[in-house]
Structures are given as structure tokens and as C-alpha cells.
Structure 1
Amino acid sequence: MTESCVNRKNLLKFILGSALGILMFLAPIPQGDSFTTLLDFVKSFLKDLFGASLNYILVVIIAGSAILTVYDFICKPDWIRKNHYLSKAFCSTPLYLVSKVLGAVFIVMIVFHVGPEYITSADTGATMADLCATLFCIVLGFSFFLPFLTDCGIMEFLGVLLRPVVRPLFHVPGRASIDLIASWFGASNAAVILTREQYMKGFYTKREAGYIMTNFSIVSIPFCLLIANTVGISSLFPPFYLCICVVGIVLAVIIARLPPICTLPDTYQEQTGKQINEDVPQQTSLMSYALESSCRRAESFQLKNVVSGGMEVLMGMYFDLIPIVISWGTIVLIIATYTPLFTWISYPMGMYLQLFGVEEAFAVAPATLIGFTDMFVPALLIAGTTSVKTKFIIGVLSLVQIIYMTEVGAIVIKSEIPLNLWKLFLIFMERTLIAIPLITLFANLVL
């Protein structure tokens, strides 16, 4: 018979370590009329601490990443190839090599205000630089705290308890509920990075990780309030946010059963293999098995692993992800801002909105598609709309579409999950087309 892992030492690791992770990522902290998380406070503190120098730090990181990636691609030096951290950051494919070089060019032009306005303007490059600055602070804030949330047992504990509900509804492990909570209270990109790390450690299959990234990474409550204020319906925030939650859950249930999500390989990361078991053995209570699983996980937790794991996340995010985000995000925003592409392709969406009786349907149609580029742009496009109900519908839609290339999409594509740009756009359109009648029905009932 297997010896129980439930003892005083492991219980303390589980309780204290998990408490620190929950305090950092999940515990709601009042902030004005809303609430946020300690991670958000740390992010804001770091942004204020670095101030204007943050842009120059980004120049060093992104330009340095481009130079070392080019050097590795040409020379293939052992000091990079044989180093665990450096190889993850600088060993790259030709596509990502070009992307990093382009990102370096963009960030230099943006920070030093040189080059065409369509690259450096507040609507394109400057927006992406600010996003990358935020991402820099988020990653610095959570890299060394993430193991307390993922490796001390709380995900195993909740995973076992919530599996009977989460698995049949969403086709994912119960531990995925942590990703959902982390996103709703914190930041969607933080939740996506959390999911990516869990996949790399063998706790999600490719299908599960791809599904969680594209369905559970809802933006935080404070940002929802910001959107409501931007479009001028802050007085309607309670039904506005309720609609986001209801529609978000319905979409998550439906999308799990549609391609391309249901066609993704249901296999674990090849090198790591399966590292999860939430099935409760016979003649064992749910609570006792949840406690046993959490203590078994906590038993292997060591503080030295926090440093090594944090450094791995830090190197990957700073030198591999941020350069990709700045290059791809800037290009996407240039297309959205300075070309009529979204106006042209949104005409069918105007007809679709009109089918459900949405006022000013063709005027707001571009906002239904431009959310694929960035989550804040739709709110700016509809700010001048006169119909309150239309503002409500499009505002909610922009927040349940989830797959924003500047915020989430670039991270998903850069991960090992087999979701390319086309598949992400297909999921985005599925969410959009299904959400519009649901949101319209909700708006007609409450407004």
C-alpha cells in the first residue's frame, strides 16, 4: 500500500505556499469602485519605479535578443546551444528570427521617434510599446511567485474537487479553474502564460491548453469597467459584466465541441509526458484524495526550484516573447488603423447584426472584427455611437471574443500549442457569430 503523503511538513508547504500564490494571483483587493489583485499592484509599482527608463530597457532587451538570435542562427555557438536558459531564448526558426529583427527595428523607431508615423503613432507602435512595458512588469512580478500557485498543491486540490463539474462541461481538468480565476481577477496574458507553463510541465494536453488559452483567458474585471466607461455605459456595469460572464460560460461549453479545438491532438508535451491524475480511486472520498494529491505535489516543492523556474520563465518571456509581440502587434495595428481592410471585410457582419435588429449595424460592423487585433480598439470605434443598446452589445462582444493578437494571440502562436493564425481567427469568428445573438437577447431582456 502506498504511504500517505499527508503529514505536517507537506501540509504546511501546501497551505502556506498556496496561500502566497493565491494572495498574489487570485485574492481580490479593493481598488476604487472595483477590485484587482496584488499582481496588478506589483505591476503598477514596477511601472512607476522604472518610469521613462522602461522604454530604454525594452530597447536593450529587444535589440539584444535580435542580435544574439542572429548570432546563434549564423554561428551556432555552444555557449548558447548547450545552456538551458540561453537556448530557449535565442535558438530560433527563420520566421521568428525575422520577427525579432523587425521588433528591434520597430522599438528603436518608436522609442526614439524616428521613421514613419504609421509605425510610431499612439495608435500603433506606441500602443504596443506600452503593452510590452506592461508585459515586462507582469512577468517580472509573477515569474518567481508562479511556482507557489502551480507547484504547492492548490491546483491539484481544486482540480480533484472541481473535476466532476469542469470535465464534463469544458472537457478540461479541474485545475483549469485556476486559470479562469487568475484571468478574471488579474490579466488575460498572465493566465495564458500560466496555461503555457502548465502544458510544458505535462498537466494539460495540447487540446486542453489550446482550449483554455482561447476560452478561459477573459480580461480582468477592472478592464471590463474601463471598457464600460470608454463607451459611456458605466451605469450599466452590473448587467454588462453579468452578460460577459453568462455568455463567456456558454461560449466555453460550445467551443469545446467545435473544430478546430476538438481536432487538436489530445496528447501531452512529448518530453514531459502526462503528469496529472485527478481520477479518485475507489473507496476513497473526494476530499481525502484531493488532500493526498495536494500534499504529494507539495512534497516535491523546493525553494531552489522557484529561482530556476522563475529564471526560465523570465528568459523566455523577455528575450523570446516580447520581441515577437512588438513586431506582430505593430503590424496588425498598422493594418487596422491605416488601411480600410476591416471596413471592407466587415460588410457581411453588418448584415448579420442587422438580422438581429442591432441599431447602427453597418456603422459598428468593423468593431466586430477589429477586436481580433486588439481588445481596446472596438471600444474606441463605437464611442460615438448613439444607441445605448448597441454600445452594450458591441462592448460585451469585444470582451468575450478573447483572441486579441496583441495581447493573447502572439503568446498562443509562440507556444508549442498547434494553433496558427488561421485557426485562431476561425475560433475568433466562431465566438463572434455565436455571441452576437446571445448578447442581443440578453440586452433586449435587461435594457
Structure 2
Amino acid sequence: MKENHVNAKNLLKFILGSAFGIAMFLVPIPQGESFTTLLDYLKNFLKSLFGGSLPYILLVIVVGSAILTVYDYICKPDWIRKNHYLSKAFSTTPLYLVSKVIGAIVIAMVVLGKGPEFILSADTGASMVSLSGTLFCIVLGFSFILPFLTDCGIMEFLGVLLRPVVRPLFHVPGRASVDLMASWFGASNAAVILTREQYMKGFYTKREAGYIMTNFSLVSIPFCLLVADTVGIANLFPAFYLCICVVGIILAVIIARIPPIRTIPDTYQEQAGKQLHEEVPQEKGILNYALEISCKRAEGFNAKGVLASGMEVVMGMVFDLIPIVIAWGTIALVIATYTPVFNWISYPMGLYMKLFGVKEAFAAAPATLVGFTDMFIPALLLGSISAVKTKFIVGVLSLVQIIYLTEVGTIIIKSEIPLNLWKLFVIFMERTLIAIPLIVLFANLFL
């Protein structure tokens, strides 16, 4: 006799657990002229709780991580190598070992205020330490709440219901819609971490996870408003955000069908195998099947699993990812801020935008490429631009490019998804080149 997973206990887990996860990640809460999420409130609460001690906490973490990683690389101690959590945090490759050491040097300089200005500047090292403080608070709050969104059944439920639309349009499971909503209302780096965890558990293939990370991890609505205000077009925000949404969807449809995303192996994480079951059996209705697999998923949800899953994310992100984010992000921002590299390489982009009639194209060109390093720098570079339409075009572009090394790029590279720095840059350029004529068309229609 086939086991029936739909019972009162599993239904309560599914409904109450999922409701908590949705409330934390997906429900928009009014905040001034915009809105945010409860997860963002929790992040801000943790930041205020740590206060001025947060940089020193990060200093201890990053320097300690570098020391233990060097020790592990040289001595290979069993107490690290044979511990699941410690090995994820401190056993690594030479590239990431060097990155952790650089991260430790940068944060020591910034926190202690000793070092060259190009490292200590608010535009470079100080910016990355601040960003890492935010990421630290997100990870602390996010890690132990994430299972309520991923393991209580809501992703299975929505996955079955939305599969007929999402699968043919984007070539991903229906559950990917949750990643998209988590990013739109919350934070893009949180959505990338969510996608990585779903891949590690066998719910996405390598291709699907890589695609979702590089196409669905849009920045939050409050940040879009901040960019619009920074470039001086806050009065155009409804058209500005509508353009972001429309162009973002068109890009997602196109990018799914071209290399390098199309060439990523469509295989599941080797240890986890395929855990996805969204195809509805012929003998069952879509709602009944959605409820059945949701309750089956919720059946295995318990406090021990939440703690274990949360601890794994915390160890990997705090001791492994944050030092690398500081190192790579600082190097990228130093290049963008203190060298003429982006002015040199952006000349072809000036020609390309001029082809579509964009005013002040060459002055705005560096802003079209510098977004690869950080998502806020393009808005800052537009201060010298006087043409409102050009500000609109480049402002929208900076928010649909998605792949920012300081925010999501490093997380993607550090995951097991086969997307290296070069492939990310190729996807970034594909999104940039395809988006510009679409945004120009939109701007010409509505401005």
C-alpha cells in the first residue's frame, strides 16, 4: 500500500513552516517610500546590535580564517580534514589560500587604519569591509531561516503549479520562481546563496543553477530606487523599474538559449543526485500532487536539520567566502577607481551606444563596463552626465547586468557551479550588448 504523506502533522509543518519562510523572505513590508522584507529588518537589527564592534569581529574571523587555512594547507591536520564543517571552511586550493591571506591583509589595514590610501579608501577596501559586514549579518540571520523556505514544501508546491509557465520560458524548474521573488524583495546575494544550497541538495542541475544565479538574482526594489535617486531620475521611477522588469525577463529568455549557459552540463550534484519531482503523474490532479509532494518534503523537516543546515551555510560563508569577497572585491575596486583601465576598454561601448543615438555616449561608456566589479559604481559615474535619457539608459543597464563581482560574482565562482571568471564576464557582456538596444527603445517610447 502506497504511503500517504498528506496528514495533519505534515500539513501543519508545510503550512506554518512555509508561512514563516514566506513572511521572512518574500512579503514586502513598507519602508518610507519603498518597501523591504523582515529578513532585511533582521539584518539591520544584527548590524545595530554589533554596532562599532562589527569590523573587529570581521577582523578576527578573516585573519583567523587565513591562519587556519595556511595551517591546514601545510600540516593537513585530521581535526580539520575529518570534520565536515571545518574542512568546508579551511581546506582549500592555493588560489583561495592566497585570496584569504590578501583578504586578511586588507581588513587589517582598513580596521587599524594603517596602509596606502588606495586600500583604505571608502571607494575600495573600506567599502568591501562594510559590504562584508552586511553579508555577515545576512548570513547569520539567513542561514537558520532558509530551511523554512526550502525544506517545508513551499518550493515544491509552487514548483508544480508554475512549472507549465517557467519551464518552457526559462528552461528551469517552477521552484526557481521563489529564487526570483527572494531577490526582488530582498537581496541578490541571499538569492544566490539560496540557489547554491538548492543545487547542493539536488533540486537544480549545474546548468539550471548557473542560469538562475546569473539571470534571476536581480537587485532588490529598494536598491533600484536608491540608484534612480543617485542618478537624479527618482521622478521617473515607475518607468525606470518597469523597464528593469521587462528587459530582465527578455534577457532571461534569451540567455537560457545561448552559450555559455547552454553549454553547462545539465547534470545534478553528484552526491545528492536528482531530488526534483515536479512532473505531475497522469492519474493525479495538479493541486493534489502539489500538496502531496509538499507534505512529503515537510515530513523530514525538524529542528536538528535546521541547525545542521544553518551551521553548514554559516561556516562556509563566514570563514570561506567573506575573506575572498574582501580580497577580490578590493582588487576589482582598486582597478576601477584608481586606474584608467575601464576608460581604455570602454571605447567600443561608446561607439556601440552612439550607434543607437545615445547622447554623451563616450562619457557614459565606462559606466557600462565598470558594473562588472560593483553594482553601485555606474550610478556614481553618471554624475557628470547631463542627458536625462542617458542617465535612464545606463541606470537601467547597471541593474540588469546582475553579475557584480563584489556582490554575487564571487559567490558564484566559489560555488561548485562550472562558471569561472571568464564565463561570467562573457555572460555580463551578452546581457550588456543585448540590453542596450532594448533599453534605448523603451526610453524612446516613454521619455
Q: TM-score, normalised by structure 2?
A: 0.99
> Where in structure 2 are the equivalents of 1:15-54 lying within 5 Å?
15-54=15-54
Deviation at 1:203, TM superposition (A): 0.5
Q: Counterpart in 2 of 1:222? A: 222
- Whether 1:397 and 2:418 are equivalent positions in the alignment is no
Gaps of 5+ in 1: none
Q: Counterpart in 2 of 1:194? A: 194
Deviation at 1:283, TM superposition (A): 2.1
Q: Counterpart in 1 of 2:174? A: 174
- Whether 1:84 and 2:84 are equivalent positions in the alignment is yes
Whole-Å separation in 1 of the counterparts to 2:28 and 2:336: 35
Deviation at 1:339, TM superposition (A): 0.5
Whole-Å separation in 2 of the counterparts to 1:394 and 1:383: 12
Letter in 1 for 2:405: M
Whole-Å separation in 1 of the counterparts to 2:228 and 2:429: 23
Letter in 2 for 1:228: A
- Whether 1:410 and 2:413 are equivalent positions in the alignment is no
Backbone CA RMSD of aligned residues: 0.6
Q: Counterpart in 1 of 2:269? A: 269
Q: Counterpart in 2 of 1:253? A: 253
The secondary structure found in structure 1 opposite 2:337 is helix
> Where in structure 2 are the equivalents of 1:347-358 lying within 5 Å?
347-358=347-358
Q: Counterpart in 2 of 1:439? A: 439
The secondary structure found in structure 2 opposite 1:35 is strand
The secondary structure found in structure 2 opposite 1:30 is strand
> Where in structure 2 are the equivalents of 1:26-425 lying within 5 Å?
26-425=26-425
Whole-Å separation in 2 of the counterparts to 1:319 and 1:294: 33
Letter in 2 for 1:72: D
Matched positions, count: 447
Letter in 2 for 1:55: P
Q: 1:93-151: CA deviations, max 9, x gaps?
A: 01100000110001000111111111110110011011000000000111110000000
Letter in 2 for 1:119: I
Letter in 2 for 1:271: Q
Q: 1:160-198: CA deviations, max 9, x gaps?
A: 000000000000000000000000000000000000000
Deviation at 1:441, TM superposition (A): 0.3
The secondary structure found in structure 2 opposite 1:335 is helix
Deviation at 1:52, TM superposition (A): 1.1
Deviation at 1:2, TM superposition (A): 2.2
Letter in 2 for 1:407: E
Whole-Å separation in 1 of the counterparts to 2:365 and 2:74: 47
Letter in 1 for 2:53: S
Whole-Å separation in 1 of the counterparts to 2:4 and 2:303: 23
Q: 1:399-444: CA deviations, max 9, x gaps?
A: 0000000001000000000000000000000000000000000000
Letter in 2 for 1:63: V
Deviation at 1:36, TM superposition (A): 0.4
Gaps of 5+ in 2: none
Whole-Å separation in 2 of the counterparts to 1:363 and 1:170: 35
The secondary structure found in structure 2 opposite 1:301 is coil
Q: 1:321-344: CA deviations, max 9, x gaps?
A: 000100000000000001100000
Deviation at 1:382, TM superposition (A): 0.3
Deviation at 1:48, TM superposition (A): 1.1
Whole-Å separation in 2 of the counterparts to 1:34 and 1:431: 27
Whole-Å separation in 2 of the counterparts to 1:270 and 1:307: 24
Whole-Å separation in 1 of the counterparts to 2:423 and 2:8: 48
Moved more, 186-195 or 281-290: 281-290
Whole-Å separation in 2 of the counterparts to 1:199 and 1:323: 23
Whole-Å separation in 1 of the counterparts to 2:357 and 2:416: 41
Letter in 2 for 1:131: L
The secondary structure found in structure 1 opposite 2:383 is coil
Whole-Å separation in 2 of the counterparts to 1:418 and 1:2: 39
Deviation at 1:3, TM superposition (A): 2.2
Deviation at 1:49, TM superposition (A): 1.1
Q: 1:70-93: CA deviations, max 9, x gaps?
A: 111111111111111001000000
Q: TM-score, normalised by structure 1?
A: 0.99
Whole-Å separation in 2 of the counterparts to 1:48 and 1:392: 34
Q: 1:30-64: CA deviations, max 9, x gaps?
A: 00011100010111111111111100001000000
Whole-Å separation in 2 of the counterparts to 1:359 and 1:148: 49
Moved more, 382-391 or 150-159: 382-391
Q: 1:256-304: CA deviations, max 9, x gaps?
A: 0010000001011111111111000002111111001100100111111
Letter in 2 for 1:274: K
